[in-house]
Structure formats: structure tokens, C-alpha cells
Amino acid sequence: MISKQNTTRFSPGGMGGVPRTAEPSSISRSAGARPPVTDSGNAPAPALWASVREALRRRLGDQKFDAWIARLELVAEVNGEVLLAAASEHERSRVDTEFGHIIQQAWDQADLTSRSVRIEARNRIAPDVLALAEPAAERPARAEDVSEDEAAESEDAAEFGADDAQTLENFLVGDSNRIAFGLARRLAMGAGVEANVVTIVGPHGVGKSHLLKGIAHALKAAKGEASCLYMSSEDFTVAFVDGVKKKDTSDLRTLVRRAKVVLLDDFQFICSKPGTLVEFFSHLRAIVSHGGVVVLACDQTPAVIDQLDDRMRDEIHGGVIAQMELPERNLRREILRAKADAVSEAAAAIEAEFHLTEEWIDLLADRLPASGRALCGAVRNVYCGTVLAGKPLDKTAVEKSIQLQMGGSPARAPKIDTIKDVTARAYGVTKADLESACRKRQFAQPRQYAMYLSRQLTKCSYPQIGRMFGDRDHTTVLFAFRKISTMVARNEAMAEELRQLEQRILADPRNNR
């Protein structure tokens, strides 16, 4: 039973952290009520809760939201955790298991503080704690209570985001993109980032365009259409070329320079066009000189783009550069789960059933250290290969999807020579270094990785592997295999590093010869 001790009536605020299963707890008595907690955005609690609910409805769909999320009640803050009440223990268990991570993520994106969400059954919460919940008059309005004007505003907002629904609310956050998302969120809130030029760098498919469109969506909704401008490099180039043909580029000048925030996607594409590049930087300097912000999304870091002259490169480097990486395993699981839920909703609309279990999601996440876009494609491939083909959803179907992402037909087991070559290139050494007797760490660790993967990915025995690594004794290979196996089991970062290395090896075209 949760007591009132050390609780705070839930006032403006949000929370971050990691969701965990709700457990009954006893809480020590604190001295009096603490002052209301205020979040970075100073939003009232009902508005924050309404925002999170709407984000959850968009992500989960009306059916799941109404069935499991709609009746959750915001109660209080207990020991630094935000407490949500479910109608029953069954409902609490189902919501916490199926949707706990999604609810937590929605709160993380709504507020920058570090509180976590806990869901508890109403009958396990003390009456005096339940009394801390907002009175009915202060709770978020239900759909049927919304005025016509508010409904019209909602329809306008929905129409704005209807093109691809790429908003910051449905952007999935992990270690690989947290800094870039934090910058995007501050810009979307109209807050400064102590820089007039922000560059988001990362490989294709990791969500750079999503962030830029999310910023545009938020700013236009809050400050109007003229507050910011989102353009792809192609849009900018076409507008500039049209202006040159007409011998009048004033339309482009007016369009770009009137906005306080300008977002340019795929910046690297205009770098190969000297005239367009010079034109863009003339606008960039004008915007910055008037206190505006320019946000660039780019596949390459500006330091390696040869077409930039020293001044251009210096202007970009004088701002903020945020690096986005391919999603780590936990984020890959979130992406796959979200896409699987969306596909499941679509399948239900045609009276079909599609459910990717956690086992299959884990298999896809482990075998495909790929971009978010490719992961979504993998889920679609599973759907097409099962529901549309009238086949069962089993491991064979998931393996087939993985094969399609990796090149079509099943590849043969890699040769040890391929494993050595890929590993050597990944760690900046040579195959000769891996085969040498040198025991320096810079050579020994990649060597042990290669031995470990040789045992994992091939049918070669320890003696056979030893002969391929400088004619070493089989006990050396056995020691390396056991050492790396232990480290992988204890260190998730190393496990992820080896999964990515394994994926590079399996994707090597030499395996298909």
C-alpha cells in the first residue's frame, strides 16, 4: 500500500529515466508538503498530461489508447517518481508490461527533468494519496468537451503534420541520437542553444530529416508559418536556378531571410554546386547577423567536405555540431517494436493478425545493426512475407527478412581470411598484425575478437583457427574465445561492438562467391 508520506501533488513538470515495474512501497514521512515542482517549460500539469496523452494516442492509435491508456490518472509525485493510477491490478500489469516503456518515452520527450513513471493499481494506493490528484475541473478536457474553436485548431495541426507525421513527439530517443534530439527540442521550444549555426551529422536513415521536420512542425504550430523555413537541398537549388534563369533571385532571398530559423536538409548535396553553395552562405551570414539560426543536416562532417573553403568551414565549426550514429541495440528494439505496432494496427483494419513477439524483435535487433529506415523495412518485409503471402509468422519468415536486408540469398559462412580482413580494417591494423607474435594491446585485442568470431561464425576447430593466426596453439584460441565470451556477457557496450563487427563480416560480398 502506498502511503501519503513523502509525496507531492503533481504540479507542472515531467520526468525522465527508465520505466520499471510498479511495486508496493512504504514511504517515510517527510516534513510537510514540498513546494510545487516546475518543469523547464513552465507548463501547467493538465497541459503537460494532455500533451503526453495526445502523443500516446498518435503513436498507439485510438483502439489501443482507449483500451489501455485513456483511464490512467495522474495522481502525485512519490519519492521522485510520477505516480499513475490504473483501474485494477490486471490493467496495471498489462499497461506496465506492454506500454510502460512507451509512456516513459513520451514523458522524457515532454520534459527534461529526471523523474520516472510508475503505474499502480488504485486499490494499492492510499486514499490520502489519491486525494492529491488534480480535481476534475482542472483535468484535461475529454474529446467530447472540446470547443469547436479548439477542434478546428486541432484539425489544422493534424493537417500540418499529415504529410509524414515526423514530429519530435514520435521521434525515438537513444544514446546514439540523444544530443541531437536535445538540440532539436530546445530549438523547437524557441530556446537558444548558444550558437547561430547548428549542424546535425550522421549516416543516412538515422533520423536527421525527422528532427528537422519536427522542429519546423513545433515552431510553426507555436509561432506561425513565417517563424521558420524547412527546405531540402534540392528545393533550394531549384529555387536558385530558377532565379538565375530569370536574372532575379529576390524571391529566394525574401523566402529564406524572413525566417528566424532556417532548416536545410541534405546540405552535402549543394556542396558540389559552387554557385549554389556561395548563394546559400550569403543567406546564412545574413540570417546569423540578424540573430537567426541556421540548422544543417548532413551525411558528412563539414571537416571532410572538400568543396567548403576555409571561411565556410570555420563558420560551421563556430557553431554546434551534433553527431548521430546508427541506433544501438536498445533503440533498434524500440524502433522495431514501434513499427511492428503500427503494422499490427494496419493489419487489424483488414481483419488480419500480425504480432511480432519480443523473441523476433530481439532477433532482428541483434542481426541488423542498421539504420532506422532499414529496420522499418525489415518489419514490412516480415509482414509481406507472412500476412500477404498467407504464411505463418515464424523464425523462417524473420530470417528471410534479414536475408533480404543483407543482400537477398543466404550467404555462405565467412572464411577466416574474410574475418581477419574485416576485423583488421575495423581497428586500423593489418592482417599481418593479427597473425604476428606481437602482444601489444592494439594488436592483441582485435586478434582475440577475430579468433572469437572465427569460432562463432565458422565450423573450424580451435586448432584450425590457431593455424590461421600465425600457427598458434589451440589453447591460445580457446583462451581468447572464453575471455571474449565472458566480456560480452558482462559488458553490453562490448557486446554491441562485436554485433556490429559480426554484421560487417556477414555482409561482406566475398561470402556470396
**Where do the domains of the chain lie?**
7-140, 168-323, 329-405, 416-512
Q: What is the pLDDT of residue 22?
A: 36
End-to-end CA distance of the chain: 64
Domain 7-140 bears CATH identifier 3.30.450.20: no
Is the pTM value of this prediction over 0.85?
Answer: no
Any idea which fold 416-512 has?
Answer: Chromosomal Replication Initiator Protein Dnaa; Chain: A; (1.10.1750)
Q: What are phi and psi of 228, to 5 degrees?
A: -150, 165
> What distance separates the 2 farthest-apart alpha carbons in the chain?
80
| β-bridge partners, 82 | 77, 117
Say if residues 118 and 84 touch (Cβ distance below 8 Å).
Answer: yes
Say if residues 344 and 63 touch (Cβ distance below 8 Å).
Answer: no
State which CATH number among 3.40.50.300, 3.40.190.10, 3.40.640.10, 3.20.80.10 fits the domain covering 168-323: 3.40.50.300
Question: If you ran DSSP here, which 8-state letter would residue 394 be given?
Answer: S
H or E segment to which residue 486 belongs:
helix 474-490
For residue 15, the tally of other CB atoms under 10 A from its CB is: 22
Q: What are phi and psi of 313, to 5 degrees?
A: -65, -40
475 to 227, 409, 462, 480: CA distances (angstroms) = 67, 36, 8, 9
200 to 16, 263, 313, 479: CA distances (angstroms) = 23, 11, 14, 43
Q: What is the rounded distance in angstroms from the CA atom of residue 398 to the CA atom of residue 416? A: 27
Q: What is the rounded distance in angstroms from the CA atom of residue 317 to the CA atom of residue 301? A: 10
Q: What is the pLDDT of residue 58?
A: 83
Number of H helices, E strands in the chain: 21, 9
* CB-based contacts of 381, cutoff 8 Å, min separation 6: 400, 401, 404, 405
H or E segment to which residue 298 belongs:
strand 293-298
Q: What is the pLDDT of residue 25?
A: 37
Q: What is the rounded distance in angstroms from the CA atom of residue 364 to the CA atom of residue 370? A: 10
For residue 417, the tally of other CB atoms under 10 A from its CB is: 12
H or E segment to which residue 312 belongs:
helix 310-317
Say if residues 509 and 411 touch (Cβ distance below 8 Å).
Answer: no
- C-alpha grid cell, residue 93: 500489469
Q: What are phi and psi of 352, to 5 degrees?
A: -115, 160
Nearest to 74 by CA among 147, 18, 12: 12
What letter represents residue 191's amino acid?
A
Q: What percent of the chain has pLDDT over 90?
A: 32
Q: What is the rounded distance in angstroms from the CA atom of residue 312 to the CA atom of residue 362? A: 44
- Residue-averaged pLDDT of the chain: 79
Q: What is the pLDDT of residue 476?
A: 94
Q: What is the pLDDT of residue 194?
A: 81
Ranges of the chain whose pLDDT falls below 50: 3-42, 134-164
Tracing cell 521536420 back to the chain, one arrives at 213
Q: What is the pLDDT of residue 404?
A: 82
Say if residues 231 and 328 touch (Cβ distance below 8 Å).
Answer: no
Say if residues 97 and 24 touch (Cβ distance below 8 Å).
Answer: no
218 to 102, 160, 222: CA distances (angstroms) = 21, 10, 6
